[in-house]
Amino acid sequence: MAFRCNLVTVADDGTMVDFAGGHPSTEAAAEVVRALDAALGGDGVVFHPGVQYRHVMVAPAALADAECVPPHDLTGKPSVAPSGPAAARLIELHEASRAVLAASDLDANQIWLWGQGSQPVMPDFTERFGVSAGLVTAVDLVRGLGVLTGITVHDLATATGWYDTDYAGKRDLALNTLRAGTDLFVIHVEATDEAGHAGDTVEKVRALERWDSEILGPLVDGLDEMGHWRLLLLPDHATPLALRTHTPDPVPYLLVDSATDGPGGVYSEAGVADSPAVPGHELMGELLSVR
C-alpha cells in the first residue's frame, strides 16, 4: 500500500506553516526523497520521488491502520499527528525525516504522511466508452488515474503543478493530439487549487483568467477548425479562499456542444445554486452521449 508523502514546513511550536514546503523544484525534491529512502527505507518502506512537494511512500499494509490528517487542512493551525494502531511508526518516520531535510537547502523541514490506500482496479476507459483518450497533468494523482484506466498520459516538461505551469503548452498538446486522431483529451491545471490552499486571491483570479485567455479561447478556435466538438469544463472540488481547504459542496460544470446555438446558463457556483446535482460519475457519459 502507499501513502502520499508531502514535504512540509512545520514550526517549532507545531504549527503547519506550509503544506507544500516552499514549493521546491521537482529536481531538488527528488534528491531529498532519494536521501530519505537511503536513510529511512527498509522493512518494506520505500520512498518514491514525485513532483515538487508531492511524493509517495510505499509501506507494509499494517501501517495503513492510522488516521492521518491532510496537511493542507492544517495550514496556520497546530499540526495533528497520526492516531491509531500504526501511528507510532508513522510519527517516528515524521520525526526521523527532520534530520534528512535539515541537510538540504529546501524550506521543507519534514515529511507528512497521509492519504494511504492500495492500488484500485479500474475499468479501461476505451473499453467502457468506446473512444481513445489522452491527458496532460503535473499531478501524479491524476497521472495515476490515467495509467489505471488506460488513458495515454502525455508528458510536458513545462507543466509544473504550480502558478507558473504552461497553460498554452497544455492547450497545444491537446489540440495536436486530437488532430492526430485521439478522440478525447483531458487538460488538468492545478493552479486554482494551489491558490485556494494558499488563500491567495490574486493568484486564484490570475489562474482563472489564464484558463480563459490561454486555454479556452484558443482551444475553441482550434476545435472549430476540426469540425463538431463537445467540451466539459469543471473542477474536481471546491477550495474556498476563506477556508484554504477542500469542501464537499457541489461544483458547477459547463457542457458545450458546438452544434447548439444560443446562450446557455451561468457558469458559477451562484449560477447553479438552485440546479439539481448530477452525480460526477455520470458526466463522462453525458459528454460522450453514452449511458
64/181 same-domain check? no
Checking DSSP bridges between strand 184-187 and strand 133-136, what pairing results, if any? Answer: parallel
Contacts of 267 by beta carbon, 8 Å cutoff, 6+ apart: 233, 252, 254
State the CB neighbour count (10 A cutoff) for residue 157.
Answer: 9
- pLDDT 10s per residue in the chain (291 long)? 999 999 999 999 999 999 999 999 999 999 999 999 999 999 999 999 999 999 999 999 999 999 999 999 999 999 999 999 999 999 999 999 999 999 999 999 999 999 999 989 999 999 999 999 999 999 988 999 999 999 999 999 999 999 999 999 999 999 999 999 999 999 999 999 999 999 999 999 999 999 999 999 999 999 999 999 999 999 999 999 999 989 998 899 999 999 988 777 788 888 888 888 899 999 999 999 865
96/204 same-domain check? no
CA distance 248 to 254: 19
| Helix, coil or strand: residue 3 | strand
CATH number, domain containing residue 250? 3.40.720.10
246/228 same-domain check? yes
78/182 same-domain check? no
pTM recorded for the entire structure: 0.85
156/270 same-domain check? yes
CA distance 139 to 141: 5
Domain, as residue range, for 130: 125-288
262/229 same-domain check? yes
24/45 same-domain check? yes
Single-letter amino acid, residue 232: L
Domain count along the chain: 2
134/248 same-domain check? yes
133/152 same-domain check? yes
**Of the residues 117, 145, 161, which one is the last residue of a structural domain?**
117
Residue with cell 453514452: 290
Checking DSSP bridges between strand 133-136 and strand 46-51, what pairing results, if any? Answer: unpaired
192/83 same-domain check? no
